[in-house]
Amino acid sequence: MRRLLALLPTALVLVALLPLGGLPVTATSAAPGDHVLRVNWGPPVPDTLDPQHSDEGQWSISGGLDYEGFTRLGEDLQPVPGAAKSWQFSEDGKAITFHLREGLVFSDGMPVTAEHFRYAAERICSPELDSRSVDLLIDVIGCEALFRSGNDAAAAAKARADFGVRAIDDRTIEYRFTKPAPYFSSYAASWGTIPLRQELIEKGGPDWWANPATRIGNGPFKMAAYPVNGPSEHLVYERNDRYWGGQTKLDRPEFLFLNNDNRRR
């Protein structure tokens, strides 16, 4: 159930969590003028918040805030422009081309390019990551072959050479599929089509996703603090003032990982 929720707009996800998971959600004012949304996700802290591992709904807290794909889902749950300003399918439905917005940047100001999306697509299909969400791109040419290549270097090299995602230029990227994929403009609102920076992932090591210095995305928020010392700490995001969509109404979303029995009554 949480995985289905992960494709909804983030604001809807945070509200929808309450009736489905019994998770307390409170809007508070941390300081005069502040607008803070606190959500008790419940224990334990997920074993990973890598934005490309989201099989248990972690997207709601692991990327739906600080990363954005090509599209978003609107109020009618239809895809609307996100990081991409437009897209079109080929006549046979076996390819889709996305056109990125002008001036798109990460939260630290670095320009977002098509190569960041291409790298992320190859990473989610790689045997090294062993993503639990590889099925999001399984119809991309070469994705399944790469995922199943294991330790076979020759097979992996061939799959990478054939891989169906290519950056045409800095603002244009094409996905080619083994069969028609009319669903993909909706999938493009998920963690399957986010931009990632290879240099930051390599610099940050296995836990790069838990460090605000290396977890730098293109979403409306950015990670400010990760609960490294136990469930009593908050996972905190703060507004990304460089987000293309402008300033968010919410200043800060915070997630707690407490037993419901420990809530203040």
Q: What is the pLDDT of residue 230?
A: 59
Q: What is the pLDDT of residue 118?
A: 98
| CB 46, CB 58: distance < 8 Å | yes
Q: Are strands 36-40 and 252-256 parallel, antiparallel or unpaired?
A: parallel
Tokens of 245: 């969509």
Q: Is 107 exposed, middle or buried (0-12, 13-18, 19+ CB in 10 A)?
A: buried
Q: What is the pLDDT of residue 31?
A: 57
Tell me the sheet residues that pair with 81: 71
Q: What is the pLDDT of residue 232?
A: 60
Q: What is the pLDDT of residue 10?
A: 44
Residue 174: CB atoms within 10 A of its CB come to: 16
Percent of the chain with pLDDT over 90: 70
Mean pLDDT of the chain: 86
Q: Which of 107, 50, 30, 49 has its CA nearest to residue 235?
A: 49
The full set of domains in the chain, from first to last, is 2-262 (3.40.190.10)
Task: Give Cβ neighbours of residue 160 (< 8 Å, ≥ 6 apart).
Answer: 122, 142, 146
CA angle 184, 185, 190 (to 5 degrees): 80
Backbone angles phi, psi at 158, to 5 degrees: -65, -45
Q: How far is it, in rounded angstroms, from Cα 73 to Cα 193? A: 14
> How much is the pTM?
0.86
Give the DSSP per-residue string, 186-252.
HHTTSGGG----HHHHHHHGGGGGG-TTT---SSSEEEEE---S-TTS-EEEEE-TT-TT---S-SE
Q: What is the pLDDT of residue 8?
A: 43
Backbone angles phi, psi at 55, to 5 degrees: -75, -15
Encode the chain (265 residues) as per-residue pLDDT tens digits.
333 334 444 444 443 333 223 334 444 445 556 899 998 888 888 888 999 987 767 888 877 899 999 999 998 999 999 999 999 999 999 999 999 999 999 999 999 999 999 999 999 999 999 998 999 999 999 999 999 999 999 999 999 999 999 999 999 999 999 999 999 999 999 999 999 999 999 999 999 999 999 999 999 999 999 987 655 678 999 999 999 999 899 999 999 988 766 445 4
